[in-house]
Structure 1
Amino acid sequence: MVDKQRLRGNMSDTKQESLSFQTEVKQLLHLMIHSLYSNKEIFLRELVSNASDACDKLRFQALKDNALMADDADLRIRISVDKENNTISIEDNGVGMSRAEVVQNLGTIARSGTAEFLQNLSGDERKDSQLIGQFGVGFYSSFIVAKAVDVYTRKAGLDASEGVHWHSAGEGEFTIGNVELPERGTRIVMHLKADELEFVDNWRLRSLVKKYSDHISVPVQMLQENHPADADADAELEGDEPKVEAAAVAPSWDNVNSAKALWTRPRSDIKDEEYQELYHHISHDFGDARSWSHNKVEGKLDYTSLLYIPKKAPFDMWNRERVRGLKLFVNRVFIMDDVEQFLPLYLRFVKGIVDSNDLPLNVSREILQNDATIETIKASLGKRVLDMLSKLAKKKPEEYQEFWDEFGQVLKEGPAEDMANKETIAKLLRFSSSQSGDEAQTVALSDYVARMAEGQAKIYYVCADNHQTAKNSPHLEVFRKKGIEVLLLTDRIDEWLMGYLQDFDGTEFADVARGGLDLGDIESPEEKESQVKANDEHKDLLARIKGLFEAEVQDVRMTHRLVESPACIVVGDNDMGAQMRRIMESAGQQVPDSKPILELNPEHPLVQRLELEQNEARFADLASILLEQARLAEGSNLKDAAGFVTRLNKLLLEMMG
């Protein structure tokens, strides 16, 4: 017989009060109840995972204060059902919670980016279901199958009188009160909805534990099937008298899971399904991992790592303050979650576990930041992730493309943060190009180099705010004419990235919108000579325009990079690019003072017409239109848009007579 006092506690709550859920919790509960109907069984995985975390945390805290274990050192999770009252109970003897922690953990979503998460919800149940999976639902998943939930918890180290009883029907509010609980830990009692009674079945729950939680290192126990206490355990929660006296039959609990840390087992003994379930446990992602790497290192350092690459990016990946990192174990003892010191920031999407024999059990974040061992492990794990991605790109290019579409922008941070692996990262980068047809980033640098034109010595690229602006940039005209491919860089990070990529396998990069354009052997000697002659032949026109725009441009010159357009804006060799300038200005940051170069196409009728214009006022209007057109073509805003419209309309009226 299960001890009645242990299960029930003193059911007369004191200091009881009703509180409202945080607004975000209400929205999340509504979405889970209505959007996750096809994934109902995951509630058990989430709750068992939480119970396992509670046991891991107690095990770690007990390293400093063994008294927290009291006389109950065998950590466990127990699941029982009450078929008469249609309830499921999940109980652990882990760290437990205080009253304040219950309010914080069960009444709010204590995670950064919650508002952004809710803004991304579309109202489409299928899409929202996937997004909720990326956010992680934890305890709240109980309301997928339960019409009401009771939580009984007592924090390790507190008196029995400081137990807490929390109750809610998953709507607008919850009640909380103090209750006498003789043992530490947490017990969750779910009162199932009428159409969810399939889960009030021991064998159904056993199969779900084996399916989702076999890897949990804490024993997950259930009463033996057909044991009298099986039906009585949760009935006592409702105040019913047990059908079998305590002296007659003692409860007999079976371990349902293997209760052995998965990463300590040989890789050959582990099924893919088991790896995936551990990923679900540590990431709280409903979806599967794309790939993983399980590795044991022995020698100067002894540690085991299990690293996962997700399929989907979390909604708050660009929030640099978001929680991230790997789980740290020392000799299979859980130490802490979200240890960010083991991987560089540009690999923050990686999930996983590190279990080391070379760190002290009383590890703190200060030790992690100053320990040379951590730096060695970090370098090794970073290379391992890049190796995983390289193999994926080589063996499964379609899957790698899916990875890139999700995480490519983050990987682009790599060359600046990880100079030691810059060449490896460069091989993993993907871009759109003038020959790829659409804005999909599918072009590898190695592929670009392999199909470079005869005589081409550089990798050409252009930066712009979006694909259309880049594709239609006037700077591409001469390259289009000569059949030369140009990379189209349109992510906000791209210009910053190129500041750290001077070359790829010895081939230099060249920004087609920066400095003087040198096409090398692609141009004939005659073409190069004509460029020099053009500036000399039109020196008077260039001087007139330069005098007109002396405050706005640093130079005016003829160009050979234009074929169809009359003019374009060029950035100086050492000046900040237009894209980066706009990004910094929009962020309110001060930008270096510099002026662009105006280049003119001597073969264009508008430039030839401008050279013949004797009326200074009309000359100024026509020259201003050319400059403003060039600014618009590069994606910049005009300082005087109304003036541009006025000048353009005036020109159109003159053309109409």
Structure 2
Amino acid sequence: MTAEQVEQLEDTEKFTFQTEISRLMSLIINSLYKTREIFLRELISNASDALDKIRFMALTDSSALAHNSKLSISIAADPESKTITITDTGIGMTREQLKQNLGTIAKSGTSEFLAKVEGSKDGDVNQIGQFGVGFYSVFLVADKVTVASKSNDDEDQYVWSSQAVDDFVIAKDPRGNTLGRGTQITLHLKEDAEEFLNENALRDLVTKYSEFINFPIYLWSSHEEEVAKEATEKEEDDEIVEESLEEEDEESTKKEEEEVEKVTVFDWERINTQKPIWMRNAKEVEEDEYVEFYRAIAKEPSATPISWTHVKGEGDTEYRSIMYIPPKVDPNFFQNLAEKAHNVRLFVKRVFITDEFELFPKWLSFLKGIVDADDLPLNVSRETLQQHRALRTISKHLVKKALDMFQQLAKDNEEKYGQFFKEYGSALKYGAIESNTHRKKIAGLLRFSSSYDPTSPGVSLDSYISRMKGSQSSIFYLSGMSVEEIEQSPFLERLLARGYEVLYLTEPIDEMLIQNMPGYNGKMFANVAKGDLKFGDEEELDEQLDEDYDELQAWLKTTLADEIDKVVLSKRLTTSPMAIVAADFGLTGHMERLMAAQGQSNKDRDMMLNFMKMQKKTLEINPKHPIIKSLAGRSIDEMDEDTKELVLVLYETTAIRSGYPLADINAFTKRVETIIRKGVGASLDEEVEVDVEAAPEKSEEEKKADEAYLEKSDDIIEDEDAYLHDEL
């Protein structure tokens, strides 16, 4: 039926599109014009979903397929009427579902898609199926659309039609139940979209986008056949003509050829003839096929996965699976860890069951793919699915296979592994924290920046251990906000001078990782900003040197009693005069900043943070530094107030370099200013003369202009409130 015929029906009801949908369709038409061929992909995808639903329903209700047991999708183009018709035998829609599904849409999906389109610079936003708005891509190529649908839940078949972007009509189909069950969408093409009436163009699009759909897709196509001509009697003259035998044979052959002609025959041709890719032998599947399959299941038409694994499980539990590493991590991956990821589709004997289950632990939930199990019952409920023994076994196997895939990628392609780790390194670290079973294997996959290679996170723990020095028993590391910040730290001085390698940990999750993974392959982690640093080849300090600094150490401890617990001669420093070191179980400056930067206040956490911040630190002094040597050369009587002020400034600058925030920044700046005044010979008591002119008050004209503007703003707000009220 045409859109005009639907509108002329007696029981037709007209509805107005939800405002968001009118805006949505306008944006789709304007933003996706260059890739408007995606309309067919979206309609086939929707048809496949409808077929999945009815097949799943049939698992528990045998009557669901009574009206039509054949599950398929068909596409037919009619050049004369300039229409394309897509028909499926899926679950269909009732009259109310036609109104709701094609006239309104969830705000969240619409808003997300609109934001994506409006924020796209090049307009290449064609993954609309992810947002549940794929149907509206029909308006890229059609100015009139008619949808006929029949559901098992409704006695009658209904038609939905729209000729514009602001309203639609629904009516009972006067043709009766022509579908049996399912949905038929007829697109009346725009003049500039008639290229899609071409049979070969449609075939190419189905092959390009929907080759791996798990249901037969048929195209109404033509081909030429040779058929015999109908026999025709021709009256001959009575005149006898003599002919040679050779001429008679030639004439006979010619007559036989003329009795066969070529005619154009139309029939349904199945386009997606390949069996499901996961059922094929991995050696028979080409790389391009894996990439196209990923694009189909992920609904990312231009994406190329980083890597994949094709698994066939045999034994107690038989299954087949293909798992992919997406090219980019979801920006909300860590924020959505509490939610179920819908990244893996579960099939049982090629029947789609659900994507609402947890196959992988949270830290691996970024993987996308399919699992087809033979040992799960077809009628398994979503409620009992998660506890099913076979699925738990499959999950364990696939976690191991995923880690093997990462390991193989690191071995075969260092550049690609670097890309993978850049996107998913934090997820692996989270896995090392969460998983006792796989922690060691995950640890071998981790990469860090280090003093050996500070430019990229390319250092593995195994390679670090291979470069360790003689007698070295610890894996040295230092945390900071960035590599640049860490490289300025005084804690590195002696280690780097002696040739020790230090890992640079720059991610917030790193501190938690080390707490949960204190060592690797018999080597313990050692934070070079905490505790008593051990190199493994220590020599006893010169007792005489220790005595020479006893008085200075005692004086510094008294002077800085509110801040530090003890003063020791440093084994870390070479060029800096001093450094502030946290206790073994205290907070480094970096950790203090991380905890203070956390958003919402938590009473227990705040108490713990304050308690740990109150723990006094150790001040390490460098006995080789000129400042420390000069201070050690003075007697206690020579330590006047000026010296004390200088030492306080030195301590506070050391705190900054050691990563600690200053408790009183104003006191610090005043002390620095005092030192500068003394250095330039300025008076310590002289105050700055402040001589400024007060700003003028508003004039009467300015006051009136402000009042007029406020009145105008109030009117605008009232109009917006009225608009929002109408929307609601």
Q: Give the TM-score of the pair, scaled to structure 1.
A: 0.83
Once the two structures are aligned, what percentage of the paired residues are identical? 32
State the 1:82 CA deviation.
3.5
2:560 maps to 1:567: no
1:143, 1:149 within 8 Å by CA — same for their partners in 2?
A: no
Structure 1 residue 43, shift from structure 2 partner: 3.9
The answer as to whether partners of 2:321 and 2:370 remain within 8 angstroms in 1 is yes
Q: What are the residue-to-residue correspondences of 1:402-441 with 2, within 5 Å?
A: 402-438=419-455, 440-441=456-457
Query: 2:55·2:351 contact (CA, 8 Å) conserved in 1?
Result: yes
Q: 1:647 aligns with which of 667, 671, 675?
A: 671
Matched residue, 1:92 = 88
Residue equivalent to 2:282? 267
Give the match's secondary structure for 2:469. Answer: coil
Aligned to 1:628: 652
Q: Deviations over 1:195-232 (max 9, x none)?
A: 444322111111222233222221111112279xxxxx
Equivalent residues in 2 for 1:195-206, closer than 5 Å = 195-206=192-203
Q: 1:56 aligns with which of 30, 52, 77?
A: 52
Q: Tell me the residue number matched to 2:153.
A: 158
In the alignment, does 2:64 pair up with 1:46?
Answer: no
Distance 1:319 1:31 in 2: 29
Pairing partner for 1:509 from 501, 522, 525: 525
> Matches of residues 142-291 of structure 1 in structure 2 within 5 Å?
142=137, 145-146=140-141, 148=143, 150=145, 152=147, 154=149, 156-161=151-156, 163=158, 165=160, 167=162, 175=168, 177=170, 179-180=172-173, 182=177, 183=179, 184-192=181-189, 194-225=191-222, 252-258=267-273, 260-286=275-301, 287-291=303-307
2:403 to 379, 386, 406: 386
Listed as ranges, the gaps of 5+ residues in structure 1 are 228-248
1:529 aligns with 2:546: no
Which of 346, 357, 365 matches 1:339? 357
- In the TM superposition, what whole-angstrom CA distance separates every residue of 1:335-362 from its partner, at most 9, and x where no partner exists? 101422x111111121111111222223
Partner of 2:59, secondary structure, is: coil
Query: Matches of 1:418 and 1:206 in 2, distance apart?
Result: 48
Structure 2 distance, partners of 1:347, 1:29, is 38
Q: How far apart, in 2, do the equivalents of 1:653 and 1:138 lie?
A: 69
Q: Which moved more, 1:137-146 or 1:421-430?
A: 137-146
Aligned residues of 1:495 and 1:577 also touching (Cα < 8 A): no
Contact 1:469 1:634 in 2 (8 A): no
RCO higher in 1 or 2 (8 Å CA, sep ≥ 6)? 1
Could you tell me which residue of structure 2 aligns to residue 462 of structure 1? Answer: 478
3-state SS of paired residue (2:516): coil
- Between the aligned partners of 1:164 and 1:539, the Cα distance in structure 2 is 95
In the alignment, residue 158 of structure 1 is paired with which amino acid? D
Partner of 2:661: 637
Is the CA contact 2:581–2:588 (under 8 Å) kept in the aligned structure 1? no
Aligned residues of 1:113 and 1:322 also touching (Cα < 8 A): no
Q: What's the counterpart of residue 236 of structure 1? A: none
Q: In the alignment, what sits opposite 1:16?
A: 14
Amino acid at match of 1:339: F
Q: Would you say the 8 A contact 1:151–1:186 is kept in 2?
A: no
Match of 1:604? 625
CA distance in 1, matches of 2:419, 2:114: 22
Q: Which of 61, 69, 72 pairs up with 1:73?
A: 69
Deviation at 1:35, TM superposition (A): 6.2
For residues 125 and 608 of structure 1, the distance between their equivalents in structure 2, rounded to whole angstroms, comes to 64
The C-alpha deviation readout for 1:559-609, integer Å capped at 9, x for no partner, is: 221223333332322235544443343233415221252423233344456
User: Which of 587-596 and 109-118 deviates more?
Assistant: 109-118
Equivalent AA in structure 2 for residue 275 of structure 1: Y
CA–CA separation in structure 1 for the residues paired with 2:371 and 2:91 = 22
Question: What RMSD over aligned residues (CA atoms) do the two structures have, in Å?
Answer: 3.7
* Alpha-carbon spacing, 1:378–1:617, altered in 2? closer, same or farther (3 Å): farther
Q: Deviations over 1:322-381 (max 9, x none)?
A: 6334111111111101422x1111111211111112222232343133223322211110
Partner of 1:328: 346
Question: C-alpha separation between the residues in 2 aligned to 1:499 and 1:224?
Answer: 65
* TM-superposed deviation, 1:135: 5.9
Give, in whole Å, the separation in 2 of the partners of 1:117 and 1:559.
Answer: 60
| TM-score when normalising by structure 2 | 0.76
- Give distance in 2, aligned partners of 1:541 and 1:148: 88
How far apart, in 2, do the equivalents of 1:391 and 1:152 lie?
50
Matched residue SS, 1:420: coil
| Partner residue, 1:230 | none
CA 255–623 in structure 1, closer or farther in 2 if over 3 Å, else same: same
User: C-alpha separation between the residues in 2 aligned to 1:14 and 1:549?
Assistant: 87
Bigger shift: residues 89-98 or 390-399? 89-98
Q: CA deviation at 1:517?
A: 0.8
In 2: Cα distance, 1:61 partner to 1:11 partner:
36
Partner residue in 1 for 2:313: 297
Q: Residue 411 of structure 1 aligns to a residue in which SS? A: helix
1:475 is matched with: 491
Q: Please say which structure displays the higher CA radius of gyration.
A: 2
Q: Are the equivalent residues in 1 in contact too, given 2:431–2:439 (CA < 8 A)?
A: yes
The answer for the alignment partner of 2:719 in structure 1 is none
Would the alpha carbon gap of residues 119 and 147 (structure 1) be closer, same or farther in structure 2, given more than 3 Å must change? closer
The answer to whether the 8 A contact 1:276-1:288 is kept is yes
In structure 2, give the amino acid aligned to 1:255: R
Relative to 1, partners in 2 of residues 1:100 and 1:159: Cα closer, same or farther, differing over 3 Å?
A: closer
Q: CA 1:30 to 1:606, structure 2 compared with 1: closer, same or farther past 3 Å?
A: farther
Q: Per-residue deviation at 1:34?
A: 3.2
Counterparts of 1:561 and 1:218, CA distance in 2: 68
Looking at structure 2, the residues matched to 655 and 491 of structure 1 have their Cα atoms a distance apart, in angstroms, of 42
Matched residue of 1:430: which SS?
coil
Evaluate the alpha carbon distance shift between residue 326 and residue 607 of structure 1 in structure 2; reply closer, same or farther with a 3 A threshold.
same
Deviation at 1:557, TM superposition (A): 3.3
- Partner residue of 1:401? 418
Change in Cα spacing, 1:150 to 1:655, as seen in structure 2 (3 Å) is farther
CA distance in 2, matches of 1:473, 1:113: 49
Residue ranges of structure 2 left out of the alignment (5+ in a row): 225-263, 682-728
1:102-138, Cα deviation, whole Å (9 max, x unpaired):
6468744676897599489854317x649x5896676
* 1:277-321 per-position Cα deviation (integer Å, ceiling 9, x unaligned): 221222112312222222222211111111112222233323323
Partner deviation per Cα, 1:466-497 (whole Å, 9 max, x = no partner): 22212222211112211222111111211111
Cα drift, residue 273 of structure 1: 2.8
Judged with a 3 Å threshold, the aligned counterparts in structure 2 of structure 1 residues 653 and 333 are, in CA distance, closer, same or farther, namely same
- Give yes or no for contact 1:138–1:284 (8 Å, CA) kept in 2: no
Q: 1:555 to 1:60 in 2, by over 3 A?
A: farther
In the superposition, relative to structure 1, how do residues 221 and 392 fare at CA in structure 2: closer, same or farther (>3 Å)? Answer: same
How many Å apart are 1:642 and its aligned residue? 2.6
Identify the residue that residue 241 of structure 1 maps to in structure 2: none
**Distance in 1, Cα, partners of 2:2 & 2:51:** 22
Partner SS, residue 17 of structure 2:
strand
Query: How far 1:540 sits from its partner (Å)?
Result: 4.0
SS at match of 1:292: strand
Q: How many pairs align?
A: 620
- Secondary structure of the residue that 1:216 maps to in structure 2? coil
CA distance in 1, matches of 2:54, 2:545: 79
8 A contact 2:38–2:137 mirrored in 1: no
Distance 1:544 1:273 in 2: 73
User: Mean Cα displacement is larger for which, 426-435 or 551-560?
Assistant: 551-560
